[in-house]
Amino acid sequence: MKKVMLLLCLFSLLGTQYAMSQRKTKYKAIYQLNSDDDKVIRNTLRNIKNALEDPRLQNKVTIELVAHGAGVTAYKKDQPYEALLQELQAKGVLLVECENTMRERKIAKEELFPFISYTPSGNGELIIKQAEGWSYVHP
């Protein structure tokens, strides 16, 4: 009888630990955008939206979109992406632009949407986030 009780307690404990670990799981993903192709930009934004809507990830995921190189196009005021970006930002997506790209292409912050954040280096951001355990996605 003692063995049966011990086994029941053990299984109960394991089940409780599993359930608690499932609730605490948080995911982090960094998406890279380095293309000015409209189709690539829209697909990237759609992929992020799809991840946010995945029932397994809802309220459990932090996403950052880092744009560098030609990807800066997505954040420019003269481009048609503002509503899509604001929708993602409203859901908690961090929208980040590479300052190296801005300097190299002579782009002022005033040319980009005012809700964009900045990083010194897009590549550096990718390296740091991956070292911190973020999943890397390059659609």
Render pLDDT for 111-133 as a digit per residue (tens, 0 to 9). Answer: 999 999 999 999 999 999 999 99
The CA angle 116-117-121, to the nearest 5 degrees, is 125
Give the C-alpha separation, 115 to 26, whole Å: 25
What's the pLDDT band for 12 if we cut at 50, 70, 90?
A: low
Say what the pTM is.
0.82
What is the reported pLDDT for 7? 47
Residue 73's CB is within 10 A of a number of other CB atoms, namely 18
**Do the beta carbons of residue 88 and residue 49 sit within 8 Å?**
yes
Half-sphere exposure of 4 (CA within 13 A, CB side): 1
Confidence of residue 19 (pLDDT cuts 50, 70, 90): very low
